[in-house]
Each structure stands twice: as structure tokens, then as C-alpha cells.
Amino acid sequence: MNNKDRYILYENNNEFKYDKKKENIQIKFNRVAFIFFIFFIISLIYTIHLIHLGSRSSSNIKNDQLKTYNKLKRADIVDRNGNFLAKTVSSIDIGINPIEIIDQKKLLLNLRYIFPNKDYQLIKSNFNKKKFFWFEKKISDENYEKIMMLGDKSIKSEEKLTRVYPQKNLFSHIIGQIDDNNNGISGLEKSLDNKLKENKDIIKLTVDKNIQFLVREELIKYNQIFRAKGSAAILMDVNNGEILSLVSIPDFDPNLRVNITDVNYINRATKGVYELGSVFKTFTLAAAFHEGIIEPNTEFKDLEKRLKCGKNTISEYDEKIPSTLTAEQILIRSGNIGSVKIGQSLGIETFKEFMNNLDLINPIKFDIEEIGIPIPFNWGKCKLATTSYGHGITTTILQLVNAYAIIVNGGYKVSPTLIKKKNYDQKKKILGNDVSEKINPILRKIVTTKEGTASLANVKGYEVGGKTGTAEKSSLGGYSKKKVNTFASIFPTSNPKYTLVVMLDEPKTNSEYIYHYRDGSGIKYKGTPFNTAGWTSVEVVGQIIEKIGPILATKYNEVY
């Protein structure tokens, strides 16, 4: 009998029964179960291992992505009112790999429909090169959805962090730029590079977007009217050094990340170094007041029309200036010879120390690195004479603004700043109490009297004062006919709060421009009679104060 089918016979009540033996079947089942169990355990271990590796890999990827994100992320920059000036945002770039294009004609047709302004001759050329290229960077959400709906596998998208400047050109010289490696290369992006990369706090500035906009609009307008090569303006709080506006024209859009090599795009407000002319006469007179040498009504009699100094001759710009003038009248009428006499009464060392204390002839510390260095010179009798009326001495617009702030704020040292601070250092008094008391009314008379050179800035209700400066630009071997016209203004003169300086670089006259006097007389004058600050920069300052005055009066609770 076969072992596989062993049967047991039973005889009982004539019934026949049999049972099949199951021992061998059970043995086979146990073996299969055992093998299955082994494979299950191995699979389980392998799965757990894969999960572990996967989670570890995913964690590493996430960590790498986080590190990259943190590396690219920079702190936001806002103005004093919280408006974004620089911000890091997520954007998507679209690229195309020509090798994977499904239907080139169809793709080009669809791309033309979505992006009609592209150069498709260039795109076809890129297709033929068979190499990946970027088609659209920082694509809009709407166009991203459209292009991805095309379903062409050659289209690739990559999410990136990018630095954007919502105000475009408005703050270009202040904010500056970064390069493609996320490193600051100019402006605050450069000087605050490490702090911005730490990305701990938003950087709040002192500037006001609305005021900056209005100042820039006027500079652009009058650059065209007077056909200037460029211009600059700074508005600063004389009591704490906060800069509310700093504009240099021409400017640029930092979103484009263009490598700017044209020197005409220099930051004229902080980097440009200029001879600024008669605006320096204010410092000569202030120094004499500070030293107690003269009073506003001190008379200077029989002033010459010309002075010889070495091989050079110093003369009055206006032959009609009287030969006898008080110290006050010398500044009001912008007398050269009278200013020389005041400077000579001070002496070289005293005048030099005064100018140093105002940070006029040495480099000044500031929040951005684009700072000009005044051209050094050797002091002597002739140099004392010429610097007394602003000839042969250079400085920056930033330093000029700062020095005027000290002269008019009671003689307190301030430092110009773009960074908003919660608390400012206690101010140090460096000038006598009476310097501002004597200077400020004189600056007001330069604007309000017939003899003054800045009557076009007499904006009703704002008590504008200031001093004009018209200087010829130096050239090889002497001076050219090209001008730098500057007006350093303060307001209100009874209790100075702001100083506003406007400089026009190489302006020209305009025979069609109509001047409107702001003294309530209704007088109009057509055509620019002289290429001087009194007819160019002063007009710009008047226009700016008319525009920004109401904002300053309401927003900063000033009463004029």
C-alpha cells in the first residue's frame, strides 16, 4: 500500500470507513509558514531600514534647504512709517530645456501668446543650441499658471528667494544693491551686509517715502528745466541728525542688478566732492561770532573792490556792493572782500579748528560707505582768504547739511543718520549760545530782503532762511565756465527744525521758464537772467518746501 494513502479498515455493523493520514501535509504547511515568516521578518527589517534612511535623507534635505534659505534671506528694510524699501520674497524662475521639447512650433506659438514682448529670434537661437536656458525670471502668478498648463516637459520651474525693492529708483542710492551671490555691493545693503544676513530684526530707517517721492519729483523736473548734469538734495532734522530724504539724480532701479560704471550715477549727495562757493561764508561769520571777534552790526569800512593774493586777484562778484558794510550785510549781500576780512581777523589756526569741529574738511562717518573725501590742501594766507568766501575748499553735500544743522540748532553736535534709533546720544555743545541767535535772523534776511540772494525761496508760512552758493567747477589748470549751484536752507528760522540743501550740477539758464515770487506780490519773471544759485537752486528749494511743508507740519506736529 502506498504510504501516501494509508487507510484503516473498520468492521462495525457492516459499515466500511476510512481516514486519510495528515501528518505529511502538516509538515509541509509548517515548512512554508516558517519560510514565509523568515521572508516577512527580512522584509520588515528592510522596510524599517528604508523608512529610516528616507526620513534621514528627507531631514537632511530639509536642513539643507533651510540652510540655503537662511543664507539667502536678508532682513527687510522699511522707512520710518513701515513702508517696505527692501524685502526678501519667494519667486519662481522658468527655464526651457530644448532637448525635451515635444513640439517646437506649437510651443513657440503658445509662448508668443503668453509673452508677446519676448525676442523670439533669440529664443529660437537658444532652442537650436540645445542647451538649457532661463526663459522668464520672477514670473507672475498668472503667467506661471498659464505656462505650466501647456504641459510641455521641456519647461522647468525653480523656486528661489529674491531681493526686491518695491520703491524701485526712489531709494536707490540709500538702499544700494546686492550681487547674484547675495552680497551687498553698495548703499545700506553693503554697509549693513552682516546685520541684514543675520535676519533678526527689520531695519527701520529715518527716511519718509512720501517726502522722498516729492523731493525726487522736483529734482527730476528741474534737472530738465535747467538742463543739469545731475542734482542732489538732503533734508535733515537739525536737532537729532535724522535724514528724512536723500536724493541723487540720476538714479537707478536696484531690481535690475545692473553693474553701473557710468560715473554720472555717482551718489552726489554723499560721494560727490565739490567746491560749493558762498555757502561757506556762513561758517566764516559764525566762527567770528563764536570767537567773539565781531557782532552782526560791526562795520567794515572802505572795503576794496579787489584784493591781490599772490598771483591771483580776489574781487566782488557784484561791483554794486557798497564799500562799507556791516558783518550782517556782508553775508546778506554775499560779499567776497568782506568775508576775506572776517577770515583774516580769525587767523588760520582758529578758522581751521572751527571748520574741523563742524566736520567740513575731513571725512565724516555715515551709515553708507559711499562717502566722499574733501580734497586736502595746505593752509596759508592766500588759502585762508579764499576759503573765507568758499573758493578753493571742497566738501560733500552731506557735510554741508550737517554743518548748517550745528550752526542753527544752538551749536549742538549732531551726526547725520539714516537708521532710526530709539534713543540718541546726549548732544555735545560745541558753539557758543549766541551763534545761532545771531546767524539765524541773518539767514532769514537773505530770503526776505531785496539785497538778499534767495528771495525765490520765501515760501509763505515756513520762515525759510538760507545761503546761496555759486561756484565754478575746477578743471585742469584752473576753472571752467561750468557751475555748481547750491542753496543751503533752514526752516523755520525762529525755531529751526530742518535744513534742506539742494545742489544742481552744471545747470544752465532757461529763457522760457516763468518765475513766480512767493511773497504775495504776484510778481512774475520770465527767463533765467543769470546762471546763479539764486535763480536755480533757490527756485527748486522753494518748490520743494511748498510740496513737503504741509506733510512736515501735519505728520510731525510742527507749527509754523
Distance (Å, whole) CA 222 – CA 295: 38
Asked if residue 186 has pLDDT above 50, the reply is yes
Could you give the count of Cα atoms lying within 13 Å of 331 in the half-sphere of its Cβ? 32
DSSP string, 151-172: --TTEEEEEEEEEE-TTGGGGH
Looking at residue 117, what DSSP letter applies?
T
Average pLDDT on 376-401 reads 95
Q: What pLDDT, on a 0 to 100 scale, did the predictor assign at position 161?
A: 82
Distance (Å, whole) CA 102 – CA 108: 11
Asked if residue 355 has pLDDT above 60, the reply is yes
Cell of 18: 476510512
Contact of 234 with 269, CB cutoff 8 Å: yes
Distance (Å, whole) CA 222 – CA 540: 7
Terminal C-alpha separation, the chain? 128
Distance (Å, whole) CA 57 – CA 53: 6
Q: What pLDDT, on a 0 to 100 scale, did the predictor assign at position 373?
A: 96
Say which residues have a Cβ less than 8 Å from residue 8's Cβ, sequence separation at least 6.
18, 19
Contact of 184 with 191, CB cutoff 8 Å: yes
pLDDT band, residue 15 (cuts 50/70/90): very low
Burial of 244 (0-12, 13-18, 19+ CB in 10 A): buried
Q: What pLDDT, on a 0 to 100 scale, did the predictor assign at position 261?
A: 85
Contact of 393 with 361, CB cutoff 8 Å: yes
Alpha-carbon radius of gyration of the chain: 39
Pairing of strands 412-413, 274-275: unpaired
Distance (Å, whole) CA 521 – CA 498: 26
Burial of 458 (0-12, 13-18, 19+ CB in 10 A): buried
Contact of 398 with 493, CB cutoff 8 Å: no
Q: Which of 201, 203, 197 is nearest to 70 (CA)?
A: 197
Contact of 389 with 280, CB cutoff 8 Å: yes
Q: What pLDDT, on a 0 to 100 scale, did the predictor assign at position 61?
A: 37
Distance (Å, whole) CA 232 – CA 245: 10
Pairing of strands 133-136, 84-96: antiparallel
Q: Give bridge partners of residue 78 from the DSSP assignment.
A: 84, 204
Distance (Å, whole) CA 370 – CA 351: 28
Domain parsing of the chain, residue ranges: 1-72, 77-204, 211-254+265-555
Q: What pLDDT, on a 0 to 100 scale, did the predictor assign at position 325?
A: 96
* CATH class (in words) of the domain with range 77-204: alpha beta
Asked if residue 30 has pLDDT above 70, the reply is no
Say which residues have a Cβ less than 8 Å from residue 479's Cβ, sequence separation at least 6.
472, 473
CB neighbour burial string for 383-406, b if at least 16 within 10 angstroms, e if fewer: bbbbbbbbbbbbbbbbbbbbbbbb
Region of residue 19 (left: phi > 0; alpha: psi -120 to 50; beta: else)? beta
Cell of 424: 540718541
Average pLDDT on 253-279 reads 93
Lowest mean pLDDT segment, chosen from 35-39, 72-76, 512-516? 35-39
Q: Which residue did the predictor score with more confidence, 21 or 114?
A: 114
Contact of 24 with 6, CB cutoff 8 Å: no
Peptide bond into 550 cis (omega under 30): no
Average pLDDT on 204-230 reads 98
Average pLDDT on 243-247 reads 98
* CATH class (in words) of the domain with range 211-254+265-555: alpha beta
Strands (E), 261-366: 274-275, 299-300, 306-309, 312-315, 325-326
Write out pLDDT tens, residues 123-173.
999 999 999 999 998 898 899 999 999 999 999 998 888 899 999 999 999
Strands (E), 84-178: 84-96, 133-136, 155-164
Cell of 79: 522707512
pLDDT band, residue 193 (cuts 50/70/90): very high
Distance (Å, whole) CA 388 – CA 367: 30
